[in-house]
Amino acid sequence: MRPLLRLRNVEARYGAFVALQHVSLIVPQGSVVALLGPNGVGKTTLLRTVSGMMSPSDGEITFDGIRIDNMPDHAIARLGLEHIPEGRGIFPTLTVRENLQMAAYTTEGMNGSIERVNQLFPVLQQRRDQIAGTLSGGEQQMLSLARSIITQPKLLMVDELSLGLAPRLVAQLFDTLEKIKRDGTTILLVEQYVRYALRLADIVVILHKGRVAFIGEPGELAHEGKLVEAYLGGSQAESATAEAEEQGGPRPRRRASGGATSGARPKRKPSAPRGSTRRSSPS
Ligand code: ATP
């Protein structure tokens, strides 16, 4: 698969603090890449750096063959890269319909995408005249997702859209993401619900202290219990291992689709599976 997004040795800083170091990875077109890791490892920073909300202090980012690391965020968005930042993305004083119209305003062929949005989010169709700020938390998250896909992005970057949602709504949200994936949209996903993320993802990237610690297919994590525990820890690790066992156990292992690469120096254990898995040790 053709690389849609490519990061090469990206570094990002908040003043003197280096939040991302030597991050290299590829998001192949049509794939879902899940970016995992505990709090504070740089997941949000990575998305912000790609979408132009902050500039990398080093490295190179290309999107759809175009160098974007020095572009302003609005120019990057115009190329078809849509970023739903953590915890927002709607106009609370406008109605649902107006929110969708605002998103569609600059998009050609919006009639087709509005129809698709109505199919994907029947609840928004029912509530089209409701003021967006009075929607439930889950409905607001659905609206921000709907606003993003109405522009028919090439790449959708989603930062913890499940935050604060009841488990039933998280399941619904992931069902919708699955449909968006089936429509052919490429997705880069930051998510704390590791099981759901791994079910959706073709490639998983684990960040550790601003560096890429692992890149591989979700099923490969089943063979990486210690590594998963070291990098994800606690309940995230449990979920990841359980999901990976389901995915990696009975069926034959696949190779990673299209060369996701890590900037971290690979350190293979003797028992390591073959494939595109790359890792470095936690420090
Ligand atoms: P979480 O899962 O909690 O959202 P994360 O993996 O997305 O975490 P980031 O938000 O990218 O992590 O933060 C990476 C590091 O950068 C953290 O140590 C954080 O404290 C720091 N950081 C984030 N934003 C700023 C900022 N505006 N100024 C200074 N440091 C920041």
Q: How much is the pLDDT for 238? A: 66
The atom number, within ligand 1, closest to the CA of 37 reads 6
Domains of the chain, CATH where assigned: 3-80+153-279 (3.40.50.300), 88-152 (no CATH)
Distance from residue 161's CA to the centre of ligand 1 (Å): 17
Pairwise CA distance, residues 203 & 219, whole Å: 9
Query: Helix H segments across the chain?
Result: 43-51, 73-78, 96-104, 110-120, 122-126, 137-150, 167-182, 194-200, 225-231, 234-248
Distance from residue 279's CA to the centre of ligand 1 (Å): 22
Distance from residue 157's CA to the centre of ligand 1 (Å): 17
Question: Whose alpha carbon is nearest atom 2 of ligand 1?
Answer: 39
Q: How much is the pLDDT for 141? A: 87
Q: How much is the pLDDT for 260? A: 39
User: CB within 6 Å of ligand 1 — which residues?
Assistant: 14, 17, 19, 37, 39-45
Is residue 100 within 8 Å of 93, Cβ to Cβ?
no
Pairwise CA distance, residues 85 & 115, whole Å: 24
**Residue 95, exposed/middle/buried by CB under 10 A (0-12, 13-18, 19+)?**
middle
Question: Whose alpha carbon is nearest atom 23 of ligand 1?
Answer: 45
Query: pLDDT by residue (tens digit) across 23-74?
Result: 999 999 999 999 999 889 999 999 999 999 999 999 999 999 999 999 999 9
| Top mutation candidate among 13, 35, 36, 39 for ligand 1, by most atoms within 8 Å of CB | 39
Q: How much is the pLDDT for 20? A: 97
The atom number, within ligand 1, closest to the CA of 207 reads 6
Pairwise CA distance, residues 245 & 96, whole Å: 41
Pairwise CA distance, residues 173 & 186, whole Å: 16
Q: How much is the pLDDT for 21? A: 97
Q: Determine the residue type at 68.
A: I
Q: How much is the pLDDT for 60? A: 98
Pairwise CA distance, residues 202 & 187, whole Å: 10
Distance from residue 193's CA to the centre of ligand 1 (Å): 19
Residue-by-residue pLDDT tens, the chain, 283 positions? 799 999 999 999 999 999 999 999 999 999 999 999 988 999 999 999 999 999 999 999 999 999 999 999 999 999 999 998 876 678 999 999 999 888 877 665 555 577 788 888 988 999 999 999 999 888 888 899 999 888 889 999 999 888 888 888 888 889 999 999 999 999 999 998 888 998 999 999 999 999 999 999 988 876 666 666 666 666 666 666 666 666 664 433 333 333 333 333 333 332 333 333 444 444 4
3-class secondary structure, 270:
coil
Distance from residue 42's CA to the centre of ligand 1 (Å): 6
The atom number, within ligand 1, closest to the CA of 192 reads 2
Q: What is the pTM of this model?
A: 0.82
Q: What Å distances lie between residue 266 and 58, 124, 212, 262, CA to CA?
A: 21, 46, 10, 8
